[in-house]
Amino acid sequence: MKLTNEVLTCIHERRSTRRFTEEQISPEQLDAVLDAAVWAPSGGNNQSWLFTAIQRKDALVKLNEIVCEAFRHWVPDDDYPGKAAAKELTQRAGFNFYYNAPTLIVASNKPNYENAMADCALALENIFLAAQSLGLGSCYINQLYWLRDDPEVRGYLFELGVPREHVIRSAAAVGFIAAPSPAPARKEGTVKIVR
């Protein structure tokens, strides 16, 4: 018999949301998702991350402009297929890298810390599951990670409070769902049990 409970249902039903309404999430909802982030595990209990939640519309719009401009001269550093497609998309009129979500949470971490990415990714999944449990949508946003060394992007994030020495690891778009995303099928053969 397949076991189920609220947590397992939440995990199954979370989707990457790519259409958000304009409505801002409440301060309590923001607190809850940020609290979920900091309760993620971290290597050696480092907790050296920082979650910068950007809700100011003018700041988000400006960040999008800076990101789109940065992508114009960005050269993908490997042949990961999503990168070339993402670069192309950013040059289209009206493109918005965080899907016009009202809240963007940027996860950064100290440099030269080998678990920085893992810690931030675990925290992001907590954000996604907390959002799902509160009836909100969310999506992993990779563009700021790809542009982590771009001086304009980095400079503006510094203005918004991300410490100069921190490395951008990932970001999460959070908001109310305007259109549900279909669940992509899970690949067969990705689990093995040795008993």
Ligand X SMILES: Cc1cc2nc3c(=O)[nH]c(=O)nc-3n(C[C@H](O)[C@H](O)[C@H](O)COP(=O)(O)O)c2cc1C
Cα→Cα distances 82→87, 89, 182, Å:
9, 10, 19
Run of H or E residues at 151:
helix 151-159
Residue 55 touching ligand X (CB under 6 A): no
The position carrying tokens 């542009």 is 147
Nearer to ligand X, 145 or 156 (CB): 145
Angle ∠(155,158,163) on CA atoms, nearest 5: 130
Asked if 16 interacts with ligand X (CB under 6 A), we say yes
Of residues 107-166, which lie at the interface with ligand X (CB under 6 A)?
Answer: 139-143
Among 27, 94, 184, 189, binds ligand X (CB under 6 A): 184
What number of chain residues touch ligand X (CB under 6 A)? 10
181 near ligand X (CB under 6 A): yes
CB of 18 to ligand X, least distance (A): 6
Q: Which residues 6+ apart lie within 8 Å of 195 measured at CB?
A: none
Determine contact, residues 102/113, Cβ cutoff 8 Å: no
Nearer to ligand X, 55 or 142 (CB): 142
Instruction: Give me the least distance between CB of 37 and ligand X, in Å please.
Output: 15
CB closer to ligand X, 18 vs 62: 18
